[in-house]
Every structure is written in C-alpha cells, then in structure tokens.
Structure 1
C-alpha cells in the first residue's frame, strides 16, 4: 500500500475520532441541560412549599428539602467552553454564546434563586423568645453604657416602668423596679461609705430580671406567636423612649460643669470667663478632679492652657493618664507636667523615651522630665546624647543625668567635662557631677578650680569634699 493511501486512512480515522468526541460532548451537555431543567421545576415546587408552610415544623421540612436541592445543584459541573480561534475575516458582529456559556448562565440563575429562597425561609421563621431577649439586652446595654443627665434618669425610669407593665401583662409576671428609685446625677455614697448603684445600674439589674422572665416563659414560636409579637412591639417602644431620653452630652458644657459642682466655689465673678475664676479657686484648694473636669470639658485653647498651667504647678498623680495621652501627641506642656508629677511609671517613662532622640524642641522638656522622675531606664539613652551635634542637646542631657543622680553617669560626664569644645556644656557636666554628689564625682569636679571657663570654676568651688579618713 502506498504512503499516500496510509495518509488518507490516518486522516479519516482522526476525523472519525473527532466526530465521536463532539457527539459525546454534545450528549454530556444535553444531559446537564436536562438536569438543570429538572432542578428548575423542583425549585418552583420548593417555592410553593415555602408559601404553604405555617409552622416551624413545616419550615424545617422545607429547609431540609432546600439543603438536598443545593447538594444536587453543586454536584453539577459545567465544562469550560472551548477557546475560540480568531478569524481576521470575521465580521464585527457578536458571535452566539457557546452551549457551555448558556448552561453556566442557567446554573447561576438557579443558584441565585435558591439563595433567595433560603433568605425567604429565614425571614418566615420566628419571631422567637430569643429575639425578645436580645432586644431587651440591647436596650439595657444602652442604658448602662451611657451617661445620662438627671432628667434623663427620670425619663429612663418612666420608660422602664411602661415596658415592665407591658411585659407583665403579656407574661403574667410581676417584674418591678426597686422601691424608692429616684433620679440622680451620679453615684452617691451610702451609709457604709461605699458607692451605691446609679439609676442605670438599677435599671440594668431589673432588665436582667425581665429577660429571665421571658426565658422562663418558654414561649413557643407557633403557639405563642402573638405574645412574642407583643413583646417585640413593647421592646421597640421601649427602645424609642430610651433613645429620646436626655443624655449628659445633650447638655451644654457650662451646664455640665454647673451640675458637676464646678461653679459652686464662686461667691462672685472676679475673672471673665467665670470658668477661669473657678479654675483658680479649685487650684488654690487642691481640687484636682475639678481641674481635670474642666480640662476634659472645655474646648477653648485659652482654658486648656490655663488648666495645663494649673496642673504643672500642682503636679498631681491623678493627671498621669490624660497627660500621657497628650504627651503622646508631642505636647510640650504635658511632658513638663509629667516631670513635675515625678512618678516613675512605666507608661510615663516609655512615652518620654520616645522623644530622647527626637527634635530639640521635644528633647529639652523630655530630658528634664526624665531627670525629675529619676528614670533609671533613661540613663543610657540620655548618655548617648552627650555626643549630639547640638551643644544645647549635650547640655540638657548632662543636666538630666545629674537630676537622675545615678553613678553610672560619672564616667561619661567626666569625659564631657574634659573634652567638650563648648564651655557651657562642660559647665553642665560639672553641675551634674555635683548633683550626683559621690566622693568620686566631686573629686573630678574639684580638679577644675583653675579652669578657663568661669562657670566651670564656679562648680568646682562649690565642691565640698569630705576629708580623707
């Protein structure tokens, strides 16, 4: 047989195999189309079943059928359409979609419809007693997590009483507020000196009793549907009433301060604004809490400056937290106040250490504050600044080490005293060694009585060495 005959037979076999593969693929696609059509018919039946469902048991049956339907749908795999060969002579008109693309579109539509059906199923369930409990807990959290004005306390009491009346009527219970509950602007001290519960605390405890009553009623979503719906309506009204109650933030700042007793110290107005006069009186009396109240409440730069000045003069430990927050925003006044307070608190030291290798504007107050605090963790970072390019930075670092007073700083300070090109930096090192005050430190300074710089000589003359034993 000739090679030409063999080639013809091979080509015929290849063509036959291709035709067989196309027929098989076409049959597979037709089978998928049939499956999708059947599922689409089943979906219409599920929709009808859901519309007819009247009880939770009915819905459970529909849910199980939907889960089975989705499992059948996910078993179907749509093959990828073959890649189209580009034909330069083909017109610009859009070609018809491949059969695989049409099947994928049908699959996606069914998948979207079954997702909608699942959502409809969830919407048709309930409501449940758990929904009521969740709503009550939400209102309770709002009450206990908000600061209320005195009139707000009264409005909350009235709203809670109205809600409890509805709840007791629907459940046949007798949940009630504590006797003698009256509005108050804040927690008060009882006879034993302990802080008593505020109105929001008392209301929160009572609402815990209300949720317990709902839970104990064991309400059935089918048999007790009307009761549950009534409870949800009552909680909605309760929530609206709480939303309308007067919060502390609803009051103007001056009214807030008045209610906190900030102006009670004023017999007459000497300075304007009156906040400034009251601030001065509180500083004189040492009322740190009122100064911090003004600092938190008053929004003007003028009053904030005066509050900070008062805190810097007083140096109260109660101001640590707000001053750390302000110092973290690169505020020089807050940094100075932390030094004035002088407490070696970890968060204070960490905050100040962030500025040791910063710009000179922040370095100066930070060095001094760390020195006033006596922060041992700052010794090495500050000692590293003894070789800074700026003479002022070197001088501030030396004085900070003197304030800390740790003997580990003696050697680096001695090097500065001996080698620094700037006499004022050397004078700061001599001052620091005098502050450390050990025999070794003082002996180093005493050697500079004839120094070229007057300031260094003055520090040397101040040395009072103990006679050798």
Structure 2
C-alpha cells in the first residue's frame, strides 16, 4: 500500500473490519435512558409483591439489552498534546453507558429495599437469638433473665400471631458453679429448653404462612418484638461476666461502694479508687476486665494519676505497640532504663507510634534518647521532624542546640522551624535563647512569635 493511500481522515481498515455506526449506538442509549426513567416510575408506583415481580422482570430484560450494547474503543493517537482535546465520541458514549449501568444498579437496590419484610425474616431473627441462648454459658442470674426475656417475648409473639407457645414450667435457673455438681447439667437443660421453645415459635411463624402484602403490619410488629427480645438477651448476665465480678469482689474491688451511682458498677468503683489513689485496684481491674470500655477507663485513670507502680505493666503494654501505655509512661515521668528502652524502640518506627513515643521520651527527660531523636530531624516527614524537635526541647539537653539551630535556619516547613525555635527556648541556655532571638523579624509568624517570647534580660 502506498503512502498516499493511507493519508486521510479515516483509519485504515482490514477486510474483516466494518465501520461502527456510532450514531446508532447513541440512539440506542437515548432509548435506554427513556426506558430507565419509565422503570423508575413503575418501581415508585409498585404497591404489592406481584407489582414488584413485574418491575424485577423488566429490570432483568433492561440489563440484558444494556449489556448487548458494545461501545468500541477510541482510536489510539500519537499526539502527546491530546490531553487538552475534546474526548473522543467513543469515550462520551462509554461514559453514558456507565451512567445508565450505575442508575440501573441503584434501581435494583431500591427494588430489594422495597420488598418484604417476609415471614422468613422473622424466623431468621428468632433462630439467631436462639443460637445465642443455646451457644452461651450463663450465670444463675443469666438463666433467670433468659427465662423472663423469653416469657415476655412470647407474650407479645402470641398476641400478634394468635399462637400459644410457652416456656416449660419446670425450667430451673442453675448454670452457676455455686449450685454444686449438677450446675452445668442444669444450665444446659435451661438452654436446651428455651431453644426448643423458640423452635416451636419458628414453626408457628411458618404455619401462619404470612403474606408480605396482606400481613405486612404483623410481620413488622413481630420483627420489632424480636429486636427487643435480642436486646434483652444481650443484657443477660453471662457466666464469664459473673466470674470476673466474683474475682474482683474477693479482691475487695467493690468494697469502696456504698451504692452504685454509675453503671456498670466497675466504672463507679474505678472512679472511687482513682480518687483514693488505689493504684493496685485499678491495675487489678485493668488485668481482670475484658471490656474495652473498662480497659480504656483504667488507662485514662492511670494517665491522670501517673503512678510509678504502673511502670512495669505499662512497659509491657508499650512493648506491644500500645500508644496509651506510652502516654502513661510519659505522665509517670521516670526515666529509668526499662522505660527509655521501651520507648526508644519506636523512635525509628511509623508516625502513629513515633508521636506518642517522642512525647513520652521528652516528658521523662530521657537523655539517652537525644541522639536517636536528633537523627529524626532529617526525616522526610515534616510531622516527624516537628515532634522530634519538641521532644528534644522537653528533654532540655544542650547537645540538641546545634541540630535544632540547623533546623530553624534551613527547614523548608515553617511549622518545623517553629518547633525548633520552641525547643531551643525550652532548653533555655543563653546560647539557645540568642539563636531564637535572632528570628524576631522572621517571615513566618509562628517562628517570629517564638522569638518574641524570648527574654534575654538577666534574672535579678
């Protein structure tokens, strides 16, 4: 083929390639957009399950037609300046196709949301609660709470469904170890009895053959009752909960309580122990309670108190990358070798761990950390450089003056320079203060403010 034969507006075509009619594709997409608007209107007006079945079938047919529309790839171009040109027709068509597909997916989701609820949903919820009951070991109190909860649920259930399901009258709450050798066996009997009772309830729902349209109000009320039932079961006392409380009770943790002001009682007792400075009891609660809520409050109490008795457990916890423990060690402020070693391990770590570790090293005045912290002044991350500078200022070691002065002079980030100025002011020697004072007309307000705060007048 000659060069002249290839010069033209159309790309060369092989014998097997036929030109694509882009206008025909555009027309099909116009029609699909109109059809989709009609489907949206049909879904909005659908009131019954059969109506929704019709819309669902129409949506399936629509998707098949949409998937049959093939958008050709846009022609490749060797022009490097094409980024500023208008998009190719094929790209515009593909974008319209994608928008239609996205709107179709939204309609399909709306269809599912508009269906039901069904009797099968009630059965599924009851079976879920039953599984919690039968799969958990409960305390004596828990057994009693379960029986009451099932009784109350069945009263509402029977009222709504016209059934007569009832808890067996011979169930004895006896899961607690204090009831002797038969405790586990009796507790298992309670769980199995309640499980069998709830199985009767699901059978009653199935026998009722509830219709999603005709019985919509009944289904909704049953689901609401089941939600309340689930909440009651969640609040019942498990054996593991009771075991921890019994342990704390034997250790005298609750002896400080004349009454329970805050729930849970462990929280109230923790506040009293913090007020009285009972570090051993707070550490006991921290070690014993598996609740994330209570663990957080124990750590917060220790952080406020800063007791040296907490050093060893907090060093261990800090060794497991725990930032709260690092903050507590900083609050305690004792720069013994064990504490410093635990914190220095995170100096060259990730920023989430560096920030609390740097702060804690500064607060404990860790002279051994000056060199590794000074090395962090060369890090790419501006936050890391800023945190390192402030930690060096808290430590107050004069070895940090020169590297901090370099950061103040040369760092590209003004907030890092401001941190260096603050750190030099904290070190407070005449040399350090004179360096900062020279920046009283600095371009950066933050740096200038630190310089303005420097007082070089001799102290009388």
TM-score of the aligned structures, taking structure 2 as reference length: 0.49
TM-score (normalised: structure 1): 0.48
